[in-house]
Amino acid sequence: MNTAMNWAAFSSAEPDLARTVETRFGAFTHHVLATLRKDGSPRTTGLEVRFLHGELWLGMMPDSLKALDLRRDPRFALQANPGEGQSLGGGDVRIAGRAIEVEDADTKGAYMTEVEPPEPFHLFRTELTEVVRTYVEDDTYLVVQVWKPGEPMRTLKRT
């Protein structure tokens, strides 16, 4: 069983990892989104994200290339801003999944009330297919936590 989950379902399944991921994304405003161009090659761009009402939201300017990419192919990868230096407080966190554009006026209206984005805008909710956290433990081990829907979280340690 490997189906996508929204943020609320992931948070329920792995609350500690979800808190760590939200904290890492909350530490900075801008993050890196990877989408797929028409020819299948990757495109990376900056992006602000929001965790609201059990969803991870991606908001974008109208007709931005990343929005057009997601309309064509909803697969994405999102990496939290690593910040300054090399400490990566809380580790390096990445989320992969599918982005579904929200057309519903009530949902967009509720988002607009809380976030107050410049209008017009594209709004996507996400379905997660993978969450990964990589960090150093005790200055000795590289630890990688990998979560996928329907599977227990795997933790790998290397020296």
| pLDDT tens by residue, 33-48 | 999 999 999 999 999 9
Q: What is the pLDDT of residue 37?
A: 97
- Parts of the chain with a pLDDT under 70: 1-2, 85-89
Provide the terminal-to-terminal Cα distance of the chain, rounded to the nearest Å: 32
CA dihedral sign, ordered 144, 147, 148, 154? positive
Q: What is the pLDDT of residue 135?
A: 92
Q: Dump pLDDT digits (tens) for 65-88.
A: 999 999 999 999 999 998 876 666
Q: What is the pLDDT of residue 118?
A: 87
Q: Give 151's DSSP letter.
A: S
CA dihedral 133, 139, 141, 146 (to 10 degrees): -10
Q: What is the pLDDT of residue 150?
A: 92
- Closest by CA to 56, choosing from 89, 9, 105, is 9
**Angstrom distance (rounded) from CA 137 to CA 122:** 39
